[in-house]
Amino acid sequence: MIGNSLKTAYRFLKKHKLITFINITSLAIGITATLVIFLMIQYDYSFDKHVPNQEQVYRVVNNGEFKNAGVYVPLVRTMESELPNLEAVAPIYRSHIPKLKVSTATDKFQTFPKEQKMAFTNSQYFDIFPSKWLAGSPKALNSSGNIILTQKTLEKFYGKELPANVIGKTIIYADSIPLQVAGVIENPQHNSDFNFDSFIADATIVQDNNLKKMYSWEAWNSISDSHQVLIKTKAHSNPRLLERNIANLLKKYKYKEGEKINDKLELQALSDVHFDTRFNYEATHPEALRNLILLAFFLLALGAVNFINLSTAQSIERAKEVGIRKTLGSSKATLIKQFLLETFLITLSATILAVLLLPLFLHVFEGFIPKNLSLDRLDKTVILLFLFGQLIVVTILAGFYPAWVLTGYAPVLALKNQLGKKPIFPEAYGSAKH
C-alpha cells in the first residue's frame, strides 16, 4: 500500500518538475535560515551546561553602588581561609600581558603576541571545570611559576611536539617572569564564559611586586571585572546565608565601624552568567533570543504559506484526479494521506537541501552569528531532533490545508469540469452527489 502511494507521489512530483523545484527551493531556504537561528539559540543556551553540579556553582559579583563582576583580590584569599564549608574557591585573574617568549629547541626564545586567553588561577578551577589531562595534573597550579597549556596553545608554541615532551619548557611572561610548563589539557569541548587557552598558578603573583601591584593583591579599595572568583558550595547549601557570611568578611576587613558600606556582594548562579547584562557587556540578551525564536517561526510559516499558495493554484488541475479516485472508491482520508505524503517528500528533500546549504549560510552571515559558534560543540542529538520536528511540523502546516481543499471536491462536478461554476465543497452544495 505504502509502496503504491510512494510511486504515485513520485510520479506526480516528477511530472510537475517546475512547481516541485520551486516548492523545494523556497522551503529549503526557509528551513536553512531557521536552522541557523536554532543553532544560534542552542549555542547560547549551551553555555556551561556541561559543568557537574552546576546548581552549586556561583560567581561572586558586586551589585552595590558600582556594579561589577569582579571582587577585591584580598577577599578571595580571605574566603579561602575563613569559609571552610566551600567545596572550591577558584580565582580567575585575567591576563593582559601583550606578548610571551617561548623557549625553542635551540634554547632560544621566540616571541608570540598574546592572542590566547590567559588567566591566573589555582587547582580548584578544575574542580569546577573538569578537563582531560594529556600531561601533568591540576596540582601543578598550587605551585608558583607553573603554567598549564591547552592542546591548541601547545601546537601554536611547539608544533607537533608531544604533551609529555613540553613539560619543563620555559615561557617568559611580562619579559621577566619565567614560567615552567607543568601540564597540558585537551582543548575545551564545551561553550563557557570561563574557557581559557592557558592557566598560570595564582601563587606566581606573590613572587613579583609588579604583578602584585597589577592585580591589586593587597588592595581593599580596588576592584575590576578582570579579578573574578567562582565558588562551589556544598550540596543543599543556602546561598543567601553564604552571601551574608561573605558580606560579614567584607565588613570585617574593608570597612571601619560606622563607615558607609557601598558594596553589595551577591552570588550569581553560573547558569545566569551568560545572560546577565548587568555584569557583562558581552552577555546575550534573553529578549534577543526570544525575538529570534519568533523570527524562526515566521520563516517556517512563510515557507508553508508559499507552499500552500502553489498547491492550491493547482487545484483545478488536480480536481479530475480527485474525482476519478473518489469514483473508484477512495475515501477522503485516503486522499488526504496521499497529498500529505507528497508534501512530506517535498519537505524531506527541502530539509536535506537545507543541511547542505547550512555551511554556505553560516559563511555568508558570519558577521551576524557568534564568532565561536561551532557545530563540534553543539549537541548533535538535539539538532537531529529539531530537523525531525520541523519536518513533521512543516509537512502538517504546509500539507494539510491543500489536502483538505483538494479532497473536498465533489466528484461529479470535478469530472464535469464545473468547479468554476459551482461550489467546490459538497457540504456547501446540497445537490452534489458522491
- For every residue of 289-312, which 3-state class applies, written as one string? HHHHHHHHHHHHHHHHHHHHHHHH
* Whole-structure pTM value: 0.80
List of the chain residues with pLDDT < 70: 1-5, 8-10, 12, 16, 105-107, 114-115, 313-330, 332, 405-434
Q: Examine the domain organization and report whether 89 and 194 are in the same domain.
A: yes
pLDDT reported for residue 315: 63
pLDDT reported for residue 425: 40
Q: Examine the domain organization and report whether 91 and 13 are in the same domain.
A: no
pLDDT reported for residue 283: 79
pLDDT reported for residue 259: 82
- What percentage of residues in the chain have a pLDDT greater than 70? 85
28 occurs within a structural domain: yes
From 247, 272, 297, give the residue that closes a domain.
Answer: 272
291 occurs within a structural domain: yes
3-class secondary structure, 191: coil
Q: Examine the domain organization and report whether 191 and 330 are in the same domain.
A: no
From 217, 237, 272, give the residue that closes a domain.
Answer: 272
pLDDT reported for residue 133: 97
Distance CA 395, CA 299 (A): 15
pLDDT reported for residue 326: 65
Distance CA 368, CA 381 (A): 25
> What would the DSSP string read from start to end of 108-171?
-EEEEE--S-EEEE-TTHHHHS---EEES-GGGGGSTTEEEEEHHHHHHHHTT--HHHHTT-EE
Q: Examine the domain organization and report whether 32 and 152 are in the same domain.
A: no
59 neighbors 205 (Cβ within 8 angstroms)? no
434 occurs within a structural domain: no
CB burial of residue 126 (10 Å; 0-12, 13-18, 19+): buried
pLDDT reported for residue 233: 94
The number of folded domains in the chain is: 2
Distance CA 169, CA 153 (A): 13
Q: Examine the domain organization and report whether 182 and 215 are in the same domain.
A: yes
Q: Examine the domain organization and report whether 242 and 372 are in the same domain.
A: no
Q: Examine the domain organization and report whether 71 and 217 are in the same domain.
A: yes
Q: Examine the domain organization and report whether 219 and 355 are in the same domain.
A: no
- The residues, ordered by sequence, that sit 6+ positions from 155 with a Cβ below 8 Å of its Cβ are none
pLDDT reported for residue 79: 93
pLDDT reported for residue 128: 97
427 occurs within a structural domain: no
405 neighbors 358 (Cβ within 8 angstroms)? no
Q: Examine the domain organization and report whether 113 and 188 are in the same domain.
A: yes
235 occurs within a structural domain: yes
Residue numbers of the domain that contains 10:
1-47+286-416
Q: Examine the domain organization and report whether 230 and 321 are in the same domain.
A: no
Q: In residues, how long is the chain?
A: 434
422 occurs within a structural domain: no
* Run of H or E including 266: strand 265-269
433 occurs within a structural domain: no
Q: Examine the domain organization and report whether 1 and 124 are in the same domain.
A: no
Residue from 21, 17, 8, 30 nearest 351 by CA: 30
426 occurs within a structural domain: no
Q: Examine the domain organization and report whether 384 and 308 are in the same domain.
A: yes
